[in-house]
Structure 1
Amino acid sequence: MILVTGATGHLGNAVIHQLLQKLPASQIVAFVRDKNKGINLLEQGVTVRVGTYDDTDALDNAMQGVETVLLIAGTDEENRVRQHQNVVDAAKKAHVQRMAYTSRALKDRATLVNQLMDGHFQTEDYIKESGLPYTLFQNSLYLDAIPQFVGGDAVFARGIYVPAEQGRVALALRSEMGEAIANALTNEHEGNLIYRLTGSESYSFYDVAAALTDLSGKSVTYTPADPVTFETQLIGRGLSDVVARRIVGFITDIANGQEDAISPDLEKLLGRKPTALKDGFSVLYNV
């Protein structure tokens, strides 16, 4: 049995959707915070267990009969390392056979601007120290996040102003990462594994602008922005201070080369090339 935490989120849903193509629903367990959000999974025959990463009793119950645990990173950024540790502790207590985690594909934790990302490295360390066999999925930035970064449909009128300089990132669709993760979890495996799930190419925001220009027929330009000015603009668009700072950190790390690395792992796990930039935007912007 495979337990997927965060099962009603975007990535969790993508993983379970693919697992259902490969396994009987009876072999899939979804750990959710809100049972009502898991009704669709129940209707498909997936076992749903309810709780939070803070609820150690619920975590213990969720692990019953489970062989593999996929820990999808939590969204409570101030507490998620401790919460992740609770999941790992419960998995170790239940003697699961494999601990998997959705981490991030970043080059150097020592030079990160977005310090929230260090929580992924801390979680990786804790999993390795637990002694459990592990599989780590180090994911690149989701292509799906770019519309939020550049202002949604407004990008076609005002262009792109982000503090990314010439930085590049091997963007990939979240749905394809979920598909690849499910494929990896159902493949025969031995030993500890680390997959770096990135697109087959890396792109700058100049490339993003060119792709959006081609798709829309409108001239979309990219102008590197000052980080402070950019953060102020994000808040002016209605984003919270926390979300605005997170986006600035993401993009500044791109400028610093943190995400400019390409791995063949995603392509191998999918059995095809990941969706390219322009095709991905065609789906995301429905153009």
Structure 2
Amino acid sequence: MNSILVTGATGHLGSAVIETLLKKIWADQISVITRNEEKRAAFEARGFNAFLGDYDNLATLEQAMKGVDTVLLISSGDQGDRIQEHKNVIDMAVKMGVKHLAYTSRCMRDRNTLVNQLMVEHFKTEDYIRESGLPFTIFRNTLYMDAIPQFVGGQAALDRGILLPAGEGKVAFALRSEMGEAMAQVLLNETCENKIYSFTGDQAYSFDDIASALTALSGKEVKYTPVERAVFAAMMRQRNVEEALTQKILDFITDIKNNQEAEITNELAFYLGRKPTRLNEGLKLVLAL
């Protein structure tokens, strides 16, 4: 890899990728796109090739891909039409003669039985990449350990416990920063052979395991109570959460209940050169305990 464009460079995952890349290549070999002019200027001041725009700005995409041999497409959020946004990046990479496209997908057990349509969109993007004919690398990342506070309600869980319709479903959580580090190691050291990498923790944890870990870390007894979907939806209404958002959360948790996120591989550990951060240590970091 001689030069790379990192989309989503200002996010936590993109930042982790870039900081690892900088250990082996110069900043002027890295191009970035950001929606924020202040952040663009900050990147430029550090020696990056920095462009102002987003996945819908075709002119910016074209400019940013000039002379680039690798594009890392960090998946878009769900605020807009992210399938179209992904297609914009992929199509431009084809047009500009990019030699290699990498994409951040999700590690799910069975795409055909997913409830969460946002996860389905990852696999539709994978399909489009294959159809494009571009040499590719797909990073199927597990659910971020950093997201646990969002599921349990942050430190409030220490007092009220965890109530979720997740049953005994497990997730092979891993820290976002470690997945970003491993992705960068692949991009730096592996040849592009149309490979798929599945980056997960080396253990899978239920929310009961999370409650036990929080108990050990805080000294307070934290309980996990599995609840029905209808009960959880009623809780969300009491908190004035919009129905559409509640449905997204329920779909996400239902896939967890169905063990869609429980796959374990050793690939993250291999590319880190160490064991991934375990649950107790990770919770200390993400909840500042």
TM exceeding 0.5: yes
Question: TM-score range with shorter-chain normalisation?
Answer: over 0.9
**Matched position secondary structure for 2:5:** strand
- CA 1:235–1:61 in 2, change beyond 3 Å: closer, same or farther? farther
Q: Which residue of 1 aligns with 2:222?
A: 220
CA RMSD of aligned residues (A): 1.5
Q: Which residue of 1 aligns with 2:59?
A: 57
Q: Which residue of 1 aligns with 2:144?
A: 142
* Alpha-carbon distance between aligned partners in 1 of 2:138 and 2:48, rounded to the nearest angstrom: 24
Q: Which residue of 1 aligns with 2:211?
A: 209
In the TM superposition, what is the alpha-carbon distance from 1:80 to its structure 2 partner? Answer: 0.4
Pairing 1:13–2:15 present: yes
In the TM superposition, what is the alpha-carbon distance from 1:36 to its structure 2 partner? Answer: 1.5
Q: Is the 8 A contact 2:100 2:192 kept in 1?
A: no
Aligned counterparts, 1:247-286, within 5 A = 247-286=249-288
| CA deviation profile, 1:219-266 (whole Å, cap 9, x unmatched) | 000110112322343454465544433222221101111111101111
Q: Is the 8 A contact 1:201 1:262 kept in 2?
A: yes
* Total equivalences in the alignment: 287
Aligned to 1:82, which of 68, 84, 87?
A: 84
Q: Is the 8 A contact 2:199 2:268 kept in 1?
A: yes
Which range moved further: 73-82 or 167-176? 73-82
Pairing 1:116–2:118 present: yes
Aligned to 1:184, which of 186, 189, 192?
A: 186
Q: Structure 2: state its 5+ residue gaps.
A: none
What one-letter code is carried by the residue in structure 2 that aligns with 1:244?
Answer: T
Which range moved further: 190-199 or 241-250? 241-250
In the TM superposition, what is the alpha-carbon distance from 1:76 to its structure 2 partner? Answer: 3.3
Aligned to 1:161, which of 160, 163, 171?
A: 163
| CA deviation profile, 1:62-90 (whole Å, cap 9, x unmatched) | 11111100001111355000110010000
**Matched position secondary structure for 1:82:** helix
Alignment TM-score, normalising by the size of structure 2: 0.95
Q: Which residue of 1 aligns with 2:26?
A: 24
Q: Is the 8 A contact 1:177 1:197 kept in 2?
A: yes
Pairing 1:200–2:194 present: no
* Alpha-carbon distance between aligned partners in 2 of 1:227 and 1:236, rounded to the nearest angstrom: 14
| CA deviation profile, 1:114-149 (whole Å, cap 9, x unmatched) | 112111000000001111000000011001111111
Percent of aligned positions with the same letter in both sequences? Answer: 52
In the TM superposition, what is the alpha-carbon distance from 1:8 to its structure 2 partner? Answer: 0.8
